[in-house]
Structure 1
């Protein structure tokens, strides 16, 4: 069986990429054992690849009161709302690994309100979903709710920025018809 293409757009050969992008992709391959298709798909536009991953890393790799697993929860919940198969599958795998919980990603993707998460995490996801779908309705009550769960202004910014960034990412993944790597489905199970 021949698998469908990983993107509607041309996918460059790793050997033909600018050195900084090639190095990053090979480092990811060394660490994970495969090259996530998002790297190959976005490498079609090198300047945008660099900008995308710089902002991704700034949002997703920072330490702080919002854990890396919680950041992945935001991605999984909002990506499901945006019907982004790639991000639900890929970030679901990362969420399972970071949360050390084989069930959490499916629960969050399908209906985070019924997932085995804390009230704080539910408030975080309620806000992320509002930012993702109805950002124009965000108001002071939303901030008050998040603050009542211990989120700071910087935390609230992070939640909003992750939801907004992945809204853009979801749209690109859908337009490119980015295929999730088969490896993601079994990770963290």
Structure 2
């Protein structure tokens, strides 16, 4: 593991559209910083079962409630070496979740359809992508983009860089004080 670049004084939370690289960038960033990495989708699955099954049997709102509970609990736990947390794509649409992100480094991982299409190819575990994946993804982005943009204290395009490169950039921006923590949150 690389030596710690900075001492995290607060969690780093990654959000953005599905397949933007939140999990891979998050793991790389946590390794770079010597921090713990957690992914809310993985935490929800561990507690409640597969996401497509939750959607099919209980609906999206039940999934969003479970996701919000996991986020609240995770951000409420002190981690001495810091935390990098990857959020599910729709999690920040909930006002209660956004209100928990006031004092964290909020990093919006941007991507466009051409970037994510290869990552989504053959994926059957994305319940919000029905039939026409491209148009479903683009419609989700049209609704979510304003929230992502207003919430971000740092915005990074993941389309043409590796996870390690994006992680290195995020770490350097945080170290330089360019990730404005208390700006941008509107619950």
Q: So what's the TM-score if we normalise by structure 2?
A: 0.27
Q: Which has the higher strand share?
A: 2
Instruction: Say which one has the larger Rg.
Output: 1
Structure that is richer in helix per residue: 1
Scaled by the length of structure 1, the TM-score of the pair is 0.27
